[in-house]
Structure 1
Amino acid sequence: MVNEKSFLYLWVIVFLALLGKSTQNCPTTVAFHANSLSNTQLLPGNKLVFRVIKVNQGGAYNSRSGIFVAPQNGTYSFNAHLCLVAGNALGFDVMVGSSVYSSTYARGYTGCGCSSVPAIAVLKQNDQVYLRWKTYSHTSSSVICQSIPQSTFTGMLIN
């Protein structure tokens, strides 16, 4: 069965063909949404790995390594949202290669405390983006809430 999005995409290809235009430079859909951290006992410098992939159009997010690899040049938008158990502090970075693009810090006072951080980056093909745990103390062996609200990592090609 053809859904509306598939039909529209097919229509655009046919329309461009009738105009004599190539579809080679049409942007590829690149988007991912992952949750459920696989590593909840975190050490400074560790990559945050989200094991459950809800969306992975373009296949650029790897749920074993926690790394997004840009499939093409472009401007990308990322957002990370982490929630931690009460009595703990968290800090994490959005990394592009070895460069920090954005950082956040939060402390959980009651229930699950959350912090989000956005990042927009101009990437070249094969650039890597991931989340890195920072050096903050915590008092329990598992600092990340595994219930609602959920910790997530998302990204998409925007241009």
Structure 2
Amino acid sequence: MTRPVIFERTLLDIGGAFNNQTGVFTAPYSGLYSFSLHIIGGVGDHGDIEVGIFTQSGMQAVAAAEGSGTDTNDKDSCTALLHLQHGDQVYAQHSFGGTFLWGSQETSFYGVLLFSD
């Protein structure tokens, strides 16, 4: 079973809506949110990797890093504008390929409430 990506640290969590132990953001308000995902992965023999922004409805956007052969440290990012209801959940999750992602500050996931309903 594929699980949300667990990040090594949380830089900012105003309102406490992100659970850093599960990797899941739970919307504290209904409204329009912007989520972005940045990945570095696919190093050498680890091959290609895709990580997506997911909700209960499935994948909303995807970032893909290709790492075949000599192409290493490939990067990609994606953004999803989502209208969420209070309690909806959003998370980054592996969707295809290898499982290698660079940690530290190299891979990140963030969300911002643009306006509430």
Q: Distance in 1 between matches of 2:74 and 2:20?
A: 24
What percent identity do the matched residue pairs reach?
A: 26
Task: For residue 9 of structure 2, give the secondary structure of its aligned residue in structure 1.
Answer: strand
Higher strand proportion = 2
Task: Choose the corresponding residue for 2:52, options 79, 93, 111.
Answer: 93
2:86 counterpart of 1:129: no
Query: Relative to 1, partners in 2 of residues 1:146 and 1:85: Cα closer, same or farther, differing over 3 Å?
Result: farther
Task: Choose the corresponding residue for 1:106, options 58, 61, 65.
Answer: 65
2:107 counterpart of 1:151: yes
Segments of 5+ residues of structure 2 without an aligned counterpart are none
Q: TM-score, normalised by structure 1?
A: 0.63
Q: How many residues align?
A: 111
Structure 1 runs of 4+ off > 4 angstroms? none
Task: For residue 158 of structure 1, give the secondary structure of its aligned residue in structure 2.
Answer: strand
Higher relative contact order (CA 8 A, sep 6+): 2
Task: For residue 96 of structure 2, give the secondary structure of its aligned residue in structure 1.
Answer: coil
**Contact kept? 2:53, 2:59, Cα under 8 Å:** yes
Pair member with larger Rg: 1
RMSD value, Cα = 1.8
2:7 counterpart of 1:72: no
Q: Match for residue 80 of structure 2?
A: 119
Higher helix proportion = 1
